[in-house]
Amino acid sequence: MGDSFGTRLRAGLDKRGPLCVGIDPHPQLLHAWGLDDSPAGLERFCHTVVDAAADVAAVAKPQSAFFERWGSRGIAVLERLLSDLREAGVLTVLDVKRGDIPSTMAAYAEAYLDEGSPLACDAITVHPYLGFGSLSGAIASAVGNDAGLFVLARTSNPEAAELQDLVAGQILGSVAAANTASAAHEPLGPVGVVLSATPPSIGHALERLHGPVLVPGVGAQGASPADVARLFSPVRQAVVPSVSRAVLADPGRVRERVTAYRDEFATLLG
Ligand X SMILES: O=C(O)c1cc(=O)[nH]c(=O)n1[C@@H]1O[C@H](COP(=O)(O)O)[C@@H](O)[C@H]1O
Residues that bind ligand X (CB under 6 A): 22, 24, 61, 63, 95, 125, 155-156, 194, 196, 216, 219-221, 242-246
- 97 among known catalytic residues: yes
Bridge partners (DSSP) of residue 193 are 151, 213
Spatial CB neighbours of 74, under 8 Å, sequence gap ≥ 6: 39, 42, 66, 67, 68
Instruction: Note the Cα 35 to chain centre separation in Å.
Output: 26
Do the Cβ atoms of 63 and 244 come closer than 8 Å? Answer: yes
CB 65 within 8 A of CB 24: no
Q: Which of 27/144 has CB closer to ligand X?
A: 27
CB-wise, 125 or 179, nearer to ligand X?
Answer: 125
**Residue of 97, 208, 230, 245 with catalytic role:** 97
Asked if residues 23 and 61 have their Cβ atoms less than 8 Å apart, the reply is yes
Minimum distance from residue 2 beta carbon to ligand X (Å): 25
Residue 55 CB, nearest approach to ligand X (Å):
21
Closer residue to ligand X (CB): 26 or 236: 26
Q: How far is the CB of 154 from ligand X (least distance, A)?
A: 7
Distances (CA, A) of 146 to 37, 65, 92, 120, 149: 35, 25, 13, 11, 11
Closest by CA to 144, choosing from 94, 174, 170, 106, is 106
> 35 or 214: whose CB is closer to ligand X?
214
CB nearer ligand X, residue 156 or residue 174: 156
Q: What is the CA radius of gyration of the chain?
A: 17
Round to whole Å and give the CA distance between 123 and 142: 8
Least distance CB 155 / ligand X (angstroms): 3
21-32: burial string, b at 16+ Cβ within 10 Å, e else: bbbbbbeebbee
- Count CB atoms within 10 A of the CB of residue 35: 19
Q: Which amino acid is at 48?
A: T
Give me the least distance between CB of 183 and ligand X, in Å please: 27
Provide the residue count of the chain. Answer: 270
Catalogue the active-site residues. 97
